[in-house]
Structure 1
Amino acid sequence: MNKKRLSLRARIIINMVLLVLVASVLIAAVTIYQYREEAKDYHKERLERKEKAIRQSIDFVIRETTYPKTTDKIPLIFKDEIFDIDAIHNLQINLYDLNGRLLKSSKRTILRDSTEAFLDPIILKTLANTVDHRYVVKNKEAGQTFQSSYTYITDEKFKTLAILNLPYLENDDFLNKELKEFLMRLAYAYLVLIFVAIVFAYFISKFITKSLRTISDKMNETRLEKRNKKIQIESTSEEIEALVNAYNSMIDELEASAVVLATNEREQAWREMAKQVAHEIKNPLTPMRLTVQSFQRKFDPQDENIHQKVNEYSNTLIEQIDTMSSIASAFSNFAKMPAQKSENLNVVNIVKLALDIFNEHYIEFYPETEEIIAKFDRTQLIRVVTNLVKNGIQAIPEDFENPKIKVSVVNEGDNVSIIIEDNGSGIAEDTKAKIFEPKFTTKSSGMGLGLAMVKNIVETYNGSITFTSQLEKGTTFKVTFPKE
């Protein structure tokens, strides 16, 4: 069964039932876990209580005995008393000497498969090395779980006389019965709840899909070339009403703009495309011109790094030429801009490469780290940086005494940000709202497409561009986009 082909009503019912089933399974799992933890704590505390009480009885016997209080006299000291203590506390008692040999047991018949005559050396070693000289061993035998605690018995002067062993059987019959009864009651409750969920989901889905079907039918009938009717639905939810109002508003706007759109759409599209392409071709020319001037000014045949510098200048020119070539090729295919590509880039290196084409000495670069990897188009990222830096250069007056442009690349969790700060003339308040609009410019030359293009590129990669500015103090642009 393909869930994508299911109707909305079926999906609502199935999801409601699944929600109840998942909740029931989770509650049952938590309940079983809780019961097991309680049983574990109960047996642990019960063994500790019995051990404490038995030790008190043993200490009393040792205090009152007339026999010498030595290890070899333990069988005589507890000749009959060990059975009395067993009868009082209903727990088998085994006494071993310090070498692990059985001295006395309250079990009258000692079977080899149940009571060992000698303790395991590991038990003796562990008991001696523990801080409180207490060791508990847990094992399973014949489907039942046993705990055996081992502690030292001492006299009044805290001299160790023997090792006390208490075998304890964990009987969970009562807790298991109680758990089984609770799970049965929970199952009955959730069966009723599933039935209620199905009925509830049926009526809710019927109410929702009725309105949605009406809206869907009207939308399918909508045509640009004819007059469309508005949707009229009564007694619906707030969300459906908002959807209907949005559709009716769209119909009004559609009718108002249909005639204008038909006459101006093609002409305007080609006009804007021509301006955009002209601006895109002009962008690489400025870096190319700056690169050639820099090469001409700094060329020194005697420089030992002349070949490396020639390669860097050549790579920069080739990259910009490739950009122009891609623009021209794309424009020939119905005037499209270069296709957006997503490739893993070291943003720090790309920004540094974009800054290398500028000759201004006051441009400073501050990367947070040497490597910040993100997915972006290499050519588009260079275009973003060069446009913003060029705007910063143009915003600084020529006679300014201390010009400065600071470019930073910072890591912000799942995002990377490029910050370009200048101390130029700033942006006036009345022009801030229009700064990213196409064809808007405050310069005497240019078509005003640079920032609009930057905004379009950044938003294509689910990023954002913001700025802050103060007159005569400067402007800061911040470009942020996700790494993935």
Structure 2
Amino acid sequence: MKLKKLSLRLRIFIAMILLVLISSVLIAAVAIYQYNEETQDYHKQRLDRKETAIIRSLDFVIRETSFPVITENVPLIFKMKIYEVAEVHNIQINLYDLEGSLLISSKADINEEVIAKCLNPNVLNTLSNTAEHRFEERREEGEEIFRSSYRFITDSKFKDLAIINIPYLEKDDFLAKELNEFLERLTYTSLVVLLMAVILAFFLSRYITKPIKAISEKMNATRLEKRNEKINIEDTSEEISTLVNSYNRMIDELEESAVQLATSEREQAWREMAKQVAHEIKNPLTPMRLTVQSFQRKFDPEDENIHQKLDEYSKTLIQQIDTMSAIAGAFSNFAKMPAQKNEMLNVVEVVDLTLDIFSENYITFQSDKKEIIASFDRTQLIRVVTNLIKNGIQAISEERLPQITVNVYEEEENIKITVSDNGIGISEENKSKIFEPKFTTKSSGMGLGLAMVKNIVETYHGTITFVSQKNEGTTFTVVFPKV
């Protein structure tokens, strides 16, 4: 799951938990790093102190000895004293001549291989060529770490007498124990802080996101066609207050725009309706005018067929007048909003009787029940079914055997009526316009049938949808509640 898809509340919660965990890990890492640095400093300083103390002891032995103070006599000068000094300081002491050969060691069981081995030339060069005349190295032997220092010891005249080597074993048991105890305490403390952070993050994220959630719910409920409530949230942050004020201003602007839009749409609808009515009325007026003009030119009272011709002219005029009457009736029915009547109907029976109006034998009716009761206006229900069947008949192709199926069934608290045909279907570019007034793909008709059906169905809180495939057919589905 991507982080940006998580809710703000969950992101705040996760951020606080991660903050505690990361801080605990960083504290532990810094503590371990600090421990390692302090351990190195501790061992270095401890070795320096031991080296200084041992050299002082050896200088005292040199001053008190009765042997001539030369490099060759070093084993004799420190024959017994080297063991005493090593025991006092609890550390091994090795003395080498100026060429790097071992002269004497406080370790009694030192093997012959070590005795025969000379110091590394790098040690000798460092001692001779540096201002401190001192060399220190650190090496690992198995699991043990040794730190060794090399330095000249001098006679009373500060002449180099020998090279002292002090091998020092780094023992971290005590410091490691302290580190483990600190990390253990840090773990317990981090767990307590983590628990507190979980609780705090839960309530804090809830407190922060509560006004945002309220704003989100209000925004989701915002509709252009109704009056929207403003948000009133007290005791909130400046940012949330700014957001609330912006939303409330948007609501005011939205209502103003909705009023202007509704007014504009009504005016546009009336203009379109007037243009459509004018267009439809002009169509029959033209043949009527031509008929009257023809009658004027050809009228001859002496003509023996005058009565027959007058009858033909009259029929033509009456036919065009009937056409204008049908146009007026269609627009009147479309403009008239159906009144909701609380009439309990057997929808199956009403739809079945409606099909008797049509003489086409390819219209079939299906229903899984003989009685489905719903509150609906009988006239409007007949009008809905009639228009859908007419639409299906007009969509039938001459290239195939026509078939229209009407189905009525109930689904939970709703009633569904489907009208399916195997006609030419609806093209993709026309699907979005199919319920628009005055839209039609036929050479005749005013395109008001489906718009009127949609108007009736939505008045009863229902819906009308369709599924269509080009050259395969279309199925219209009407859904409305029982009550």
What TM-score, normalized by structure 1, do the two folds share? Answer: 0.51
Q: Distance in 2 between the 1:136 and 1:51 partners? A: 11
Structure 1 residue ranges without an equivalent (≥5): 265-484
Structure 1's 157 and 111: CA in aligned 2 closer, same or farther, altered over 3 A? same
Give me the whole-angstrom Cα distance separating, in 2, the residues matched to 1:234 and 1:166.
77
Assess, with a 3 A threshold, how the Cα gap between structure 1 residues 113 and 191 changes in structure 2: closer, same or farther: farther
Separation of aligned partners in 2, 1:205 and 1:113: 72
Partner SS for 1:137: strand
Partner residue, 2:69: 69
Could you tell me how far 1:62 is from its partner in structure 2? 1.1
Mapped to 2, the partners of 1:249 and 1:114 lie a distance apart of 92
> Partner of 1:93 in structure 2?
93
CA shift in 2, pair 1:114/1:205, >3 Å: farther
Give the equivalent residue in structure 2 for 1:206: 206
The letter for the 2-side match of 1:166 is I
Instruction: Give 2:218's aligned residue.
Output: 218
Question: Which residue of structure 1 lines up, in the alignment, with residue 252 of structure 2?
Answer: 252
The answer to whether residue 4 in structure 2 is matched with residue 4 in structure 1 is yes
Amino acid at match of 1:34: Q
How far has the Cα of 1:45 moved from its partner? 0.5
Written as runs of structure 1 = structure 2, the 5 A alignment for 1:41-440 is: 41-111=41-111, 117-224=117-224, 226-256=226-256
Which residue pairs with 1:20 in the alignment? 20
3-state SS, counterpart of residue 152 of structure 1: strand
Distance in 1 of aligned mates of 2:262 and 2:114: 97
- The alpha carbon displacement at 1:255 in A equals 4.1
Q: Is the 8 A contact 2:102 2:115 kept in 1?
A: no
Q: Look up the SS of the partner of 1:149 in the other structure.
A: strand
Q: Which runs of 5+ in 2 are unaligned?
A: 265-483
1:103-153 per-residue CA deviation (whole Å, 9 max, x = no partner) reads 011111113577764211221122211111000011011211101100011
Q: How does 1:434-449 map to 2 (within 5 A)?
A: none
Distance in 1 separating the partners of 2:116 and 2:210: 78
Which segment drifts farther, 74-83 or 210-219?
210-219
The CA distance in 2 between the partners of 1:176 and 1:115, in whole Å, is 35
Say which SS state the counterpart of residue 131 (structure 1) adopts. Answer: coil
- What displacement does 1:69 show? 1.1
Provide the residue aligned with 2:273 in structure 1.
Answer: none
Instruction: Return closer, same or farther for 1:58/1:145 CA change in 2, 3 Å cut-off.
Output: same
SS of 1:219's equivalent in the other structure is helix
Q: Mean Cα displacement is larger for which, 102-111 or 3-12?
A: 3-12
Q: Distance in 1 between matches of 2:122 and 2:152?
A: 16
Residue 37 (structure 1) aligns with: 37
What CA distance in whole angstroms lies between the structure 1 residues aligned with 2:159 and 2:210? 87
The one-letter amino acid of 1:137's match is: E
User: 1:270-297, CA deviations, whole angstroms, 9 ceiling, x for partnerless residues?
Assistant: xxxxxxxxxxxxxxxxxxxxxxxxxxxx
**Distance in 2 of aligned mates of 1:51 and 1:119:** 18
Distance 1:30 1:254, change over 3 A: same
Pair member with larger Rg: 2
Q: What is the distance in 2 between the residues matched to 1:127 and 1:213?
A: 76
Deviations 1:337-389 (A, max 9, x none): xxxxxxxxxxxxxxxxxxxxxxxxxxxxxxxxxxxxxxxxxxxxxxxxxxxxx
Q: Provide the rounded CA distance (Å) in 2 between the counterparts of 1:83 and 1:56.
A: 15
Q: How many pairs were matched up?
A: 264
State the alpha-carbon separation in 1 of the partners of residues 255 and 113 from structure 2.
Answer: 95
Q: Secondary structure at 1:67's aligned position in 2?
A: coil
Following superposition, the deviation at residue 74 of structure 1 comes to 0.5
TM-score (norm 2): 0.51
Call closer, same or farther: CA 1:94–1:261 in 2, change over 3 Å. farther
State the Cα distance separating 1:176 from its structure 2 match.
Answer: 0.3
Shift of the 72–142 alpha-carbon distance from structure 1 to 2, 3 Å rule, reads: same
Structure 1 distance, partners of 2:43, 2:113, is 24
Superposition deviation, residue 3 in structure 1: 2.6
Query: 1: CA distance between counterparts of 2:232 and 2:97?
Result: 95
